[in-house]
Amino acid sequence: MTENDREPLVEGITAAIVGVTDFGPHLELFRDELGYEVAGEGVVPAAVAGPLWGSGSADVEVKALAAAGAGTGRIHLVRVPEPVAPAEPPHNLDVGLVGIDLYARDIEAAHARFSASGRVWTTPPTTYGVSVGEREVQVTQGVCPAPDGTVVVFVQPAAVRGTEAWTADPARPYTELTSVVCHVPDPDAEIAFWGPDGLGMAVWYDVVFSAPGFDAVAGLPPGTKMRLAFLAGERTARIEVTSAATRHRVDRRATQRPARSLGHSGWSARTRDLEAALERVRATGGTVTASPLETDDPLHGRALVAAADTPNGIAVTLWQPRG
């Protein structure tokens, strides 16, 4: 293996793909309340969107949302005229994509602000501990339902891991997406797919834990043992791979497809070498669902794009900028 082969093929999750019926309610939340800006808008042409996402013969309307101009940890809003299933927020024991996370500088103030505006959180700010090796990491989280079944998790970190938004604007209350969450039946395969021998993200920790506070935040039966693997690249968003030692609930993977489903429906990841990334996808148990296509659109700019499913059926759009 050459030195170039050892370089990570992805730097993190560039964006969470969120299917919408109407852009307005999402803009009210992410732009007006959380301070994201519209970094790009327009359409992904049918000639690209159809093969890439299986969305049919029409152009797909999109908006790219960024926090403080961050080029990663974005939200890609994709309008879905005929969704394959009604909007429904996933539970943490459902199989598939779960929440999208971002840091809040003062989570209690955020909760109070949202409550005053009538936006009720399903879980108010709660602190719990996760044992990582010899130490216990304190985590404070709250869960806020967003339009079209999207679940937003606010995190006030005990130790801030660098974010582009807070580097650019240290005073802003919220960051770009800091992590995206999936709950899968085969966590080992998912970790191998994204990890050092796969697309190149580092495994920061991989633990099994149980905590009453986490049970409360996640809506889990008391005493649930949850495996959590945290994978990170050079840039946000990171990936939280979860798997619970209990019966899984609804399998949502068939109804979580970009441009066909509402809510958190896929991930987008920029790569330095699309062909090498697709080779690694196949080698680590993933499936290439759309071969490379040339595009010039509001989400990717001028780029080469392809689509893949991870070994657990999570939909990923991989893209390489063309300059």
Report the 3 state secondary structure along 132-175: ECCEEEEEEEEEEECHHHCEEEEEEECCCCCCHHHHHCCCCCEE
Average pLDDT score over the chain? 94
Whole-number pLDDT of residue 259:
98
Same fold, 3-86+252-321 and 96-244: yes
pTM of the model: 0.96
Q: Is the pLDDT of residue 253 over 80?
A: yes
Q: Is the pLDDT of residue 232 over 80?
A: yes
Q: Looking at domain 96-244, does it have CATH number 3.30.420.40?
A: no
Query: What does CATH list as the number for 3-86+252-321?
Result: 3.10.180.10
Whole-number pLDDT of residue 128:
84
**Reported confidence tier of residue 217, pLDDT bands at 50, 70, 90:** confident
Q: Which of 203, 270, 190, 269 is nearest to 231 (CA)?
A: 203
Q: Which residues sit opposite 128 in a β-bridge?
A: 139
Q: Which pLDDT tens digit goes with each residue over 152-199?
A: 999 998 877 789 999 999 999 999 999 999 999 999 999 999 999 999
Q: Which of 153, 198, 185, 172 is nearest to 252 (CA)?
A: 185
Whole-number pLDDT of residue 248:
73
Whole-number pLDDT of residue 321:
98
The domain locations on the chain are: 3-86+252-321, 96-244
Alpha-carbon distance of 114 to 223, in angstroms, equals 30
Q: Name which residue leads in pLDDT, 5 or 123.
A: 123
